[in-house]
Amino acid sequence: MFDFSGEIMPTAKSLAELAFSAEHLPRNPGMALDLGEVLPVRVNRSAVQARTASLAARRSIKREWQAAWLLKALTCIDLTTLSGDDTPGKVQRLCAKARQPLRADLAAALGAQGLTVGAVCVYHNMVAEAVAGLAGTRIPVAAVSTGFPAGQTPMETKLREIELSVAAGAGEIDIVISRQHVLTGNWQALYDEMKAFRAACGEAHVKAILATGELGTLRNVARASMVCMMAGADFIKTSTGKEAVNATLPVSLTMVRCIRHYHEMTGVHVGYKPAGGISTAKDAINYLVLIKEELGRRWLEPDLFRFGASSLLTDIERQLEHFVTGRYSATFRHAMA
């Protein structure tokens, strides 16, 4: 069995155990809104682009090292279905795939029996179905909420939607912020909104979706990231997956640098979730490397890092089959759910 750093791991531990072996971290309690830490934020776009371009230009990770990093990526996937044609049967199939993301023969060959994804993400109407489908596992259900994806619903409705999803068994809530607060520079309103969402979540962890493709500038992305963390977000997340532009490496670098700064300020760990447009194993490794280099090893556990994805799992499984057998299989042989 291989560690994702490329070192041989003790065979006594399964990957599933290792995925949950990190020490428990306290939630982000938030802090008072400090505009002195928000308004001076500047982002050097050229430097950001140069830094992220260097990731793709490096020599690719190969052989057992690639397989190990891809196994780590599997444990960090929020396996997602957010479609108008979602049905109970579709969600049940998704949960079955979440329980066993790799074919049994591949898992056995890689010493990865018991490996699971990080979470299953659904609309509120499918939360109870997903909770039932994951019964007996440690896989949480994440519900998108607060008028996802546009966020253009009354505040009372947003809060009630959160409360209903938590009551139905969701352990994580992916909220969408009101983009107008960012675009008009109303940071107090964004802070108050995020605080209210955090309170409505209760014990459920809250991921703040910034919808970065609609915020206009990287400076807005950075400022919104800081405000949401100050208001108590447990994760900050790039996108709904429904915008014209979703997760990108430049946006991710901007957001994880904010996470690093917040940690330096407070000592608190805040998680990160890129979502939308991440569909290949190579993409996944680039994001993992970025997180490892910018935030450190601890952020490569599913309690601090997730991919919002569905088709990503198919390509990862194909690459792992190639590692085991030396042959590439057709995509249709690896149905996501």
Task: List the catalytic residues.
Answer: 174, 237, 273
Please give the C-alpha separations between residue 17 and each of 78, 138, 331, 332, in angstroms, as whole numbers.
Answer: 18, 11, 29, 30
Q: Please state the three-class secondary structure of 125-183 as a single string.
A: HHHHHHHHHCCCCCCCEEEECCCCCCCCCCHHHHHHHHHHHHHCCCCEEEEECCHHHHH
How large is the C-alpha radius of gyration of the chain?
19
Instruction: Report the Cα 61 to chain-centroid distance in Å.
Output: 22
d(CA 278, CA 311): 8
Bridge partners, residue 275, by sequence: 308
d(CA 51, CA 40): 22
Which residues, at least 6 apart from 267, have a Cβ–Cβ distance to it below 8 Å? none
d(CA 254, CA 217): 11
Q: Which residue, chain included where needed, has tokens 């209210």?
A: 196
For residue 149, whether the previous peptide bond is cis, meaning omega lies within 30 degrees of 0, is: yes
